[in-house]
Amino acid sequence: MKKIIFLLGFISILLLTFIDGAVLAQAKKQQAKTTSKNVSCLRCHEQIAKVLPKNHKPVTGDTIASCNTCHRPDMSTKAEPKSYASTIHSGHAKEASNTDCMVCHTYTNNRFGLYKTNISFGKLKKEDLENIKNIFISWAQSKNMDAAHGKANIICSSCHDKKLPETGDAVENDRCLACHGPLDALQKRSEPKDFPDRNPHKSHLGDDIACTVCHHSHKPSTVYCLGCHGNFKMKIPGG
């Protein structure tokens, strides 16, 4: 009996090895095809399998298009985590110097799109591309609040909706409260034990102060209270 089990195990390992080899051979073929366009993941990753999450299915192909055969790019603008978009961006934005958006994305006629898809993320100015890249880098690894959101798979559109924010735009309170609310629950969570009155979310300046007065996403947050109450010990967790 033991022998039979051993044999079955051996056969299955053999089978797996065979399949693996076939996949690799396929991938190498594709690599030859696509490297000229500079959109291959193999540019940086010798073995794609190494950078995939644990238990990820083997990947055919070496471009973002391969990912998109299974993963649908999440075009939702809801205030919610988007794990695929988040994971793929956070990994790449960490290597700040190597990050090149155009490996996966396309930029033709000012339209920002995705390689081998019809998806468009709208019109972008050229200078915005660099800004977005920098913000992604901050989002992936800074000590600011954007990085805290990055860790929770909250990507741009989760806060900014579908439109690229213009200079001076601020995220509305409702958007923040979609995840962090409702306000009264938030107030309860942030009530200091020693001085319940010094609740930053229940300010004497009113309940409708913009969250962005204190919480900045892409730069360090500031505690507005300290402008007058210099002796308060207040810190904003999560940057």
Residues that bind another protein (CB under 8 A): 166-170, 195-197, 204-206, 209-210, 212-213, 224, 227-231
Tell the smallest beta-carbon distance from residue 205 to another protein (Å): 5
8 Å CB contact between 120 and 164:
no
Q: Considering beta carbons, is residue 133 or 216 the nearer one to another protein?
A: 216
Closest C-alpha among 236, 100, 55, 77 to residue 160? 77
**Residue 100 φ/ψ region, left for φ over 0, alpha for ψ in the -120 to 50 degree band, beta for the rest:** beta
Least distance to another protein from the beta carbon of 108, Å? 29
Q: Closest by alpha carbon to 62, among 95, 35, 101, 85?
A: 35
Q: How far is the CB of 216 from another protein (least distance, A)?
A: 11
Instruction: Tell the smallest beta-carbon distance from residue 219 to another protein (Å).
Output: 14
Characterize 141-150 residue by residue with b for buried, 16 or more Cβ atoms within 10 angstroms of its Cβ, and e for exposed: bbebbbbbbb
Nearer to another protein, 180 or 198 (CB): 198
Q: What is the spatial distance between Cα 82 and Cα 157, in angstroms, rounded to a whole number?
A: 9
When the beta carbons of 1 and 205 are compared against another protein, the nearer one is 205
Q: Specify the residue, 84 or 224, whose C-beta has the smaller distance to another protein.
A: 224
Closer Cβ to another protein, 101 or 209, answer by number: 209
State the Cα–Cα distance between residues 132 and 105, nearest whole angstrom: 13
63, 115 Cβ separation under 8 angstroms:
yes
Supply the minimum distance, in Å, between the C-beta of residue 126 and another protein: 20
